[in-house]
């Protein structure tokens, strides 16, 4: 009997480990693989033969793993380049050496490209006993074809909850204190996270990357809010930009290894605009930074359940020897009640595309999002898992890459 390996890539989410837990649990329920290995630090660690054996994980560890944020197996930003044949050959050899038939890879766009590239390579070289399956995860929710991405909903829930709480915080002082609160969220190219703050029902102004930023319009809206009710609650995506594509945080941006802009400072940029134009005498910025993607103590039950089942579904589908080069996604059923089915799609249809927040869901003048958007978002944040605590803090597995 052959083995499988599961590995994680890209930025953390608060439910990314639930997919790993799902693969492990599925194999315990139907052991189609002799060993379920965990590859440490994604493809980078697999190329260094850094594995752990997850096959016999206890039920308790599986439960704790599901509630542990960030990649318990470690992550990487290493991208397999199609012209780097050496890496492909090396990986196939390592898989042969350890008799690994299937690699499950969780990640975003880049990881789905890795899955597609590996299965293409295997097909071209007549390698039929090495298979590659992608599982989506990204707080950015920007993958094509899947209705949404595991990790997004828990981040959305944390953002909406924080918006509600900090809106209450903003409003406690009398009307004589005029103040703007600016919540900055992640979302380089997609406004899903910023938009989800609207679930709080308290956002006055929301600026998404899919919209174009107009400084005068923004300041007009701030002035109106301050005049009407002395407080103004603004949410901005790190990727918010002017019509010409310039980030409003320009000047603070750098590029990462993949050439993606590393952003930050959109909130501070808005604050400066407000104070310079005297649209309000006070403005405060909260950048949710790393906490928004790793705040697993408020997971959405829908999210963590789907992430777990998505791992199980990937494992179950891989019993089919022809199953490779696929990503397993989530499809929402038609109808009033929220229901999902799991499905598979070619990973190359997902790789390197971005699904933005639909422009038709954005209200004019940064006033928020449409009812259609709420109908999409609302079901995703429902429910709270019962968490296991140890001595006052949530119990988390010790990262496998540190053991």
Say how far apart CA 263 and CA 159 lie, in whole Å. Answer: 18
Let me know if 140 is a catalytic residue.
Answer: yes
Q: Which CB sits closer to its own copies, 26 or 340?
A: 340
Q: Please, are residues 198 and 225 in contact by the beta-carbon 8 Å criterion?
A: no
Q: Which pair of tokens denotes residue 222?
A: 């701030």
Q: DSSP string of 3-58?
A: EEEEEE-SS--SSHHHHHHHHHHHHHHS--SS-EEEETTHHHHHTTT-EEE-TT--
Tokens of 168: 């209450």
Find, among 53, 397, 13, 387, the residue nearest to 192 by Cα: 13
Residue 98 in 3-state DSSP?
A: coil
CB 212, min distance to its own copies, A: 28
Say how far apart CA 111 and CA 9 lie, in whole Å. 7
- Give the nearer residue to its own copies in terms of CB position, either 273 or 387: 387
Least separation in angstroms between residue 288's CB and its own copies is 8
74 contacts 42 by C-beta, under 8 angstroms: yes
Distance between CA 7 and CA 39 in Å, rounded? Answer: 5
Residue 31 or 383: the one with the smaller Cβ distance to its own copies is 383
Closer CB to its own copies, residue 11 or residue 329?
A: 11
Tell which residue, 59, 50, 65, has the closest CA to residue 16.
65
Catalytic residue among 140, 189, 287, 303: 140
Residue 239 or residue 325: which is nearer to its own copies going by CB? 239
Phi, psi of 163 (to 5 degrees): -60, -45
Instruction: Quote the least distance from Cβ 139 to its own copies, whole Å.
Output: 11
Phi, psi (deg, nearest 5) at residue 338 = -75, 120
Nearer of residues 1 and 393 to its own copies, judged by Cβ: 393
Task: Kindly state the smallest distance separating residue 171's Cβ from its own copies, in Å.
Answer: 6
At its nearest, how many Å lie between its own copies and the CB of residue 138? 14
Query: Terminus-to-terminus CA distance in the chain, angstroms?
Result: 27
Residue 304: closest CA among 193, 386, 235 = 386
For residue 257, give the nearest of 112, 76, 43, 70 by alpha carbon.
76
Cα separation, 74 vs 52, in Å, equals: 12
What is the 8-class DSSP label of residue 287? E
Shortest separation between residue 321's beta carbon and its own copies, angstroms: 33
- 3-class SS at 355? coil
Q: Find the shortest distance in angstroms from Cβ 285 to its own copies.
A: 7
Q: Which residues on adjacent β-strands are paired with residue 103? A: 5, 132
Nearer to its own copies, 181 or 218 (CB): 181
Closest to its own copies by CB, 166 vs 318, is 166
Total length of the chain: 403
Q: Tell me which residues touch its own copies (CB under 8 A).
A: 8, 12, 14, 41, 44-45, 68-71, 74-77, 157, 160-162, 164-166, 168-174, 177, 181, 199-200, 284-291, 293-298, 300, 378, 381-384, 387, 389, 391-394, 396, 399, 401-402
> Least distance in Å: CB of 302 to its own copies?
9
* Cβ-contact 12, 293 below 8 angstroms: yes
The catalytic residue positions are 140
């Amino acid at each position: 009997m052959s083995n499988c390996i599961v590995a994680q890539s890209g930025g953390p989410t608060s439910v990314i480990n639930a997919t790993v837990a799902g693969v492990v649990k599925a194999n315990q329920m139907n052991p189609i693989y002799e060993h379920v290995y965990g590859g440490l630090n994604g493809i980078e660690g697999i190329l260094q033969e850094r594995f752990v054996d997850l096959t016999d994980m206890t039920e308790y560890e599986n439960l704790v793993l599901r509630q542990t944020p960030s990649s318990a197996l470690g992550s990487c930003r290493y991208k397999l380049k199609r012209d780097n044949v050496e890496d492909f050959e090396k990986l196939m050899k390592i898989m042969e050496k350890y008799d690994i038939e299937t690699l499950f890879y969780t990640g975003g766009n880049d990881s789905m490209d890795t899955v597609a590239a590996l299965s293409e390579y295997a097909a071209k070289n007549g390698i039929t006993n090495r298979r590659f399956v992608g599982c989506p995860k990204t707080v950015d929710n920007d993958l094509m074809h899947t209705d949404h991405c595991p990790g997004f909903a828990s981040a959305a829930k944390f953002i909406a909850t924080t918006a509600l709480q900090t809106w209450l915080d903003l409003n406690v002082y009398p009307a004589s204190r005029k103040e703007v609160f600016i919540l900055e969220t992640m979302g380089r190219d997609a406004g899903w996270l910023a938009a989800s703050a609207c679930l709080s029902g308290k956002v006055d102004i929301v600026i998404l990357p899919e919209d174009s930023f107009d400084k005068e319009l923004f300041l007009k809206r701030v002035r109106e809010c301050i005049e009407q009710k002395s407080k103004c609650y603004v949410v901005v995506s790190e990727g918010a930009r002017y019509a010409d594509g310039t980030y409003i945080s320009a000047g603070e941006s750098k590029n990462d290894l993949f050439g993606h802009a590393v952003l930050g400072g959109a909130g501070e940029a808005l604050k400066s605009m407000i104070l310079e134009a005297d649209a309000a005498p006070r403005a405060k910025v909260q950048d949710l930074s790393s906490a928004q993607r790793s705040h697993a103590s408020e997971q959405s039950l829908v999210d963590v359940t789907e992430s777990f089942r998505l791992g199980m579904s990937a494992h179950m589908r891989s019993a089919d020897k022809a199953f490779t080069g696929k990503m397993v996604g989530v499809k929402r059923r038609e109808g009033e009640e929220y229901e999902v089915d799991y499905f598979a799609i070619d990973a190359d249809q997902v790789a390197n595309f971005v699904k933005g927040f639909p422009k038709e869901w954005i209200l004019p003048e940064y006033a928020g999002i449409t009812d259609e958007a709420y109908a999409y978002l609302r079901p995703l944040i429902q429910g709270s898992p019962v968490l296991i605590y140890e001595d006052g803090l949530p119990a988390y597995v010790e990262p496998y890459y540190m053991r």
